[in-house]
Amino acid sequence: MKKTLFIMVSALAVFAASAKEVDGMTTNKVAKTDAEWKAQLSAEQYRVARKKGTERPYTGTYWNHKELGIYSCICCGTDLFLSDTKFDSGCGWPSYFKPVNDQAITEHRDTSASMVRTEVLCSKCDAHLGHVFPDGPPPTGLRYCINSASIRFRKADAPPANHEDGSQ
């Protein structure tokens, strides 16, 4: 009896810990083991999105991409940036001046690499996306410098995909 109660309480605690309130609504965070992420992602996607890596400039799939559509999280499929907010910053990574909405991303202070920056993460699964800098164009003055390995593109006329299982 005690073991069953412990398992039930533990399961409830895990569920409650993974829930997040956004605008009065509760959404579930995506939580997977390293083994599950490795099975879903390529080695480069895993290194960048799950281990906070960075791809070399001018090497990512989307740094010079110009099609109309939506860029979503490679790990969970959350929509992150619209193509009409993308601009050429000359830095070698895809750059955007704002996310699709205020709930799509979270920001954290990053003091790695002997500098102070603001890291950008997917709000739903905590995938490392890149960094945001205060040197972007109007109207925000921000430059979201995002790794191509952390995002996936969907044409404007394509329906949303469920990426939680790695499918497109």
Alpha-carbon span 100 to 78, nearest angstrom: 10
Catalytic annotation present for 145 = yes
| Neighbouring C-beta atoms of residue 98, cutoff 10 Å | 17
The set of long-range contacts for 115-120, using a CB threshold of 8 Å and a minimum separation of 24, is 119/52, 120/144, 120/146
Alpha-carbon span 131 to 15, nearest angstrom: 29
Options 73, 75, 76, 145, the catalytic residue: 145
- Secondary structure class of 70 (helix, strand, coil): strand
Alpha-carbon span 157 to 139, nearest angstrom: 26
Please report, to the nearest 10 degrees, the dihedral formed by the alpha carbons of residues 70, 72, 77, 80 taken in order.
-100
Instruction: Catalogue the active-site residues.
Output: 145
